[in-house]
Amino acid sequence: MYALQGIGYTPGLKLFELDKLKLGSMIRRTVKDGPRGIIEDISDGELMIKRIGQSYRQTGAIQGENFFKILLEMKYDGGNPLDYVTNFRRAVRDVRSTKLELQDAIIIILFKLSVKGKAENWYQVVSQAARKITWTAEELYNDFISSNNIKRPTRQGQTQIRGSAHIAESSQGKGFQKNRFEFQTKFVKGQRTRTPNDTNTSQTADNKPKKSVQCWVCDQTGHYANQCPHKGYGVDRGKDDQKQIQFQ
């Protein structure tokens, strides 16, 4: 049509026979192979425009019927709610692209019926709320996504949130081990040692030979000098011990 307007033609303009032939020649040069096959048997430019318009209106009506049938047959299978809403929106756009009138009230009814089988609780809540709340199609889509975006356990022992890419660890049936072995602290020869709590391990502190400890204050075994119960013993011995140490 822009090419026709470029040569001065406007819809409704009265043309003479020669002008109609020129218009027909112009249309043949500008249209593609598909429309050219529709007008190959006529030379009148005005008749060409009428036939092309009628043919494409019929094609649009057939496409609209097919798109509307696809929209009616859509059913939610319990999968990702975001993916389903995206496909439903696309089907609505396809129907409206054929110039068929599709009001929001009809879209809301079709959407609710399409998800009723797998989202019965949501359907009942929304139907009851519709008595007091006026929904738009977009508000209904968003509420459906948020209400059905729940956690479900998977076979791998994880929890996947439907409708998003977030993966969380499951807390059922599995404990969290920080290390391979649990370590215990023991006192051996006055030092702290960390040994794995594993009955199969052979290199543990219990299997190693222990040496006796002798206190230099009371000359008894079993404790160190700082733990000696006879701390005054060394004081009573007096200077004799010091002399012995000096002579030695």
For the chain, what are the domain ranges?
Answer: 2-66, 77-154, 186-195+211-247
**Rounded to whole angstroms, how far apart are CA atoms 143 and 119?**
12
> 72-98 burial, b if ≥16 CB within 10 A, otherwise e?
eebebeeeebbebbeebeebbebbeeb
Question: Is a pLDDT exceeding 60 seen at residue 127?
Answer: yes
pTM above 0.85, yes or no: no
Burial of 30: CB neighbours in 10 Å, binned 0-12, 13-18, 19+: middle
* CB-CB neighbours of 145 under 10 Å: 18
Q: Read off the pLDDT of each residue in 55-82 and give the average, rounded to a whole number.
A: 81
Model confidence pLDDT, tens digit, residues 212-230: 778 877 878 878 777 888 7
Cβ contacts of residue 46 below 8 Å, gap of 6+?
15, 20, 23
Burial 109-125 (b: 16+ CB within 10 A, else e): ebbbebbeebbeebbee
161 bridge partner residues:
151
Quick one: pLDDT at residue 54?
Answer: 65
* Res. 181 pLDDT band, cuts 50 70 90: very low
Better-scored residue on pLDDT, 96 or 167: 96
Cβ proximity of 112 and 127 under 8 Å: yes
> Which pLDDT score, from 0 to 100, does residue 87 have?
93
